[in-house]
Structure 1
């Protein structure tokens, strides 16, 4: 396999724009573990092997258990995630697949039980950011171990 384009080298301004989004999320107060769960779930849905590999390793390095990492795709069938994490993962699924059903009112209500309005907007930005990274990685032919 070969990477098609090294996006950060050929267009550093675009790469820096994405890094600014990352910086915003990281400074927003959103829990780092929660952000990694969001990144993994979106990457699973989008089929981004590069991002999935990166973020599962990062979560593991943060001390997360194999069980919690391995069960992210079936979070709704598990008791090991908090209500806050479940709300964020559900929103991740709907925003990632926004063309299918949008974000239904009942999903919004469940998320708002766990997150303030400001946090809700931050979640949307976090979900959009990883979806953008997924699309960049897939479109440029990135794969696990390519960097």
Structure 2
């Protein structure tokens, strides 16, 4: 696939500076790195963003995630490889990514399950990661950014 245009973050460098600041804040929130990687991958899978799925897998492997777990993220509910805390973050990711599917956006049950495992700064980091991933998924889908592209 050929990209439709130069990536918007390359054309508008101040946008990338802002995104990098958000990304830095995410990693200061105290959420486990593995959870942030899983959240990024799951949102990207839902949105069909090949560039982010590719980059997310590459990043997760670099940060110690296993092939076996990464292959099961799309079917995490049927897998015994994820902790209860990771499951709550994945459920939050799915509902927050598919906000149009429910009048609540995120159900109270999903929120309560996540809040049981993560404090507010960690939840903030997870929510920001979900949101930032959705931003990149949309940028990449609209511009048809190919998998393996770097910005």
Q: Is the 8 A contact 2:30 2:125 kept in 1?
A: no
- Report the alpha carbon displacement of residue 25 of structure 1 after superposing the two structures with TM: 0.5
Q: Give 5+ residue unaligned stretches, structure 1.
A: none
Q: How many angstroms apart in 2 are the aligned matches of 1:57 and 1:143?
A: 15
Q: Map Cα deviations across residues 60-96 of structure 1 (whole Å, 9 max, x no partner).
A: 2223221100000111111111111111000000000
Which residue is equivalent to 1:145?
148
Q: How many angstroms apart in 1 are the aligned matches of 2:61 and 2:126?
A: 22
Q: How many angstroms apart in 2 are the aligned matches of 1:117 and 1:29?
A: 10
Between 122-131 and 33-42, the greater mean CA deviation after superposition: 122-131
Q: How many angstroms apart in 1 are the aligned matches of 2:25 and 2:134?
A: 16
Which residue is equivalent to 2:35?
34
Which residue is equivalent to 1:90?
91
- Report the alpha carbon displacement of residue 132 of structure 1 after superposing the two structures with TM: 0.8
Q: Give 5+ residue unaligned stretches, structure 2.
A: none
Q: After TM superposition, where is structure 1 displaced by more than 6 Å over at least 4 residues in a row?
A: none
- Report the alpha carbon displacement of residue 111 of structure 1 after superposing the two structures with TM: 1.0
Q: Say how many residue pairs are matched.
A: 147
Which residue is equivalent to 1:128?
131
Instruction: Spell out the pairing of 1:1-147 with structure 2 (5 A cutoff).
Output: 1-3=1-3, 4-101=5-102, 102-147=105-150
Q: Is the 8 A contact 2:30 2:121 kept in 1?
A: no
Q: Is the 8 A contact 1:112 1:120 kept in 2?
A: yes
- Report the alpha carbon displacement of residue 5 of structure 1 after superposing the two structures with TM: 2.4
Q: Is the 8 A contact 1:5 1:141 kept in 2?
A: no
Q: Is the 8 A contact 1:71 1:78 kept in 2?
A: yes
Q: 3-state DSSP class of the match of 2:64?
A: coil
Q: How many angstroms apart in 1 are the aligned matches of 2:91 and 2:77?
A: 8
Q: How many angstroms apart in 1 are the aligned matches of 2:33 and 2:123?
A: 16
TM-score with structure 2 setting the length? 0.91
